Amino acid sequence: MMREFPTSIKTIGVEVEGFWSKPPNWDSELDPDCYDCDWEEHDDGVRERTHLCYNCREEGGMHGFLERHGLKEDGSVSGYAREATGSNDYVGAEYASPVLHNWSDLVRSVSNCGNRGLGYPNRVSAHTGMHVHIGVTQELFDFTMSAVYWNLIRLDLLDLAEQGKLPEQDAKWLTHRCYHGTSSNEVAGYCHPNSWRRMWERYNHVNYTAFEQHGTIEVRVCPAATTPESALIMVEQVLRSTHNYWTNPSLWEQVSSDVLQEQDLTLSNIGTVVNETVENNQFHHPVMADGLPATHGHTIVIA
């Protein structure tokens, strides 16, 4: 495993979704029948509070617990704790790291998820994902908006799963997300394979809408891993693939060729690569005097 970021990558941030164990006094001070909260009644008659209203959040409960431990509510997991774990003893949430400048800080951040006592999620499921924000300049943002990059990320992650470097469950989820945009057919999709038609949508393998707010590209294709070690293996591969794309001249030639031919390499539903025409595709190829893409001045802020 790497000991420092690849030289072309200066800052990253990581978001990890998961399920953390509730404390014993979880909601003892909250109104057990609050009509303003969101509830879900399960087949066995048990009612689960899936979202707290403003008043209950201010009194403590879920919002206070999450805030104290550096977590936040997330719509893709907050209402699925019982379905995913089979128990009312967990809360679904997301950990968002601060801006990270080196590998050792990344390891601590992912392993401890905030250094506030909770650690890595106690449980993950097909509902949970992991997102890697990579700080970019405007030039690198433009350069990375390419089907060559999408395909490189996807194929490198598929190789990682196929080589047995991940736990079996993580490899299964990652493979399904690479092909279909979900960890399984039973859950909603939050990381669809990129295409030019969906370029400015958030829920893609690579999310470009993050740039305006965070100054990043967001790679959303990875699942939340069953262990922090597995999570770090996937983050490392995303960083290596991105560095390779930014610094490998043979890949620049592929990008330029694709743009000149106005073709887009897009993943089909069965994972094959097909050609489709893209009209009016504009591309800017940032190259410094030394022949490498511009890589300085990266800044990100994770809200």
Question: Which residues, listed in sequence order, are joined to residue 39 by a DSSP beta bridge?
Answer: 49
Confidence check: pLDDT of 161 > 90: yes
Domain ranges of the chain: 12-277
Q: Is the dihedral of CA 249, 250, 254, 256 positive or negative?
A: positive
As a whole-number percent, the residues of the chain with pLDDT over 70 amount to 77
Mean pLDDT over residues 271-285, rounded? 34
Looking at residue 61, what is its pLDDT? 59
Looking at residue 303, what is its pLDDT? 33
Spell out the residues 6+ positions from residue 212 whose beta carbon is closer than 8 angstroms to its own.
Answer: none
Looking at residue 257, what is its pLDDT? 64
Looking at residue 57, what is its pLDDT? 63
Determine if the pTM surpasses 0.85: no
Q: How far does the chain reach from its first CA to its final CA, in angstroms?
A: 28
Mean pLDDT over residues 155-180, rounded? 97
Mean pLDDT of the chain: 81
- At 281, the pLDDT band (50, 70, 90 cuts) reads very low
In tens, the pLDDT along 88-136 reads 888 899 999 999 999 999 999 999 997 666 899 999 999 999 999 999 9
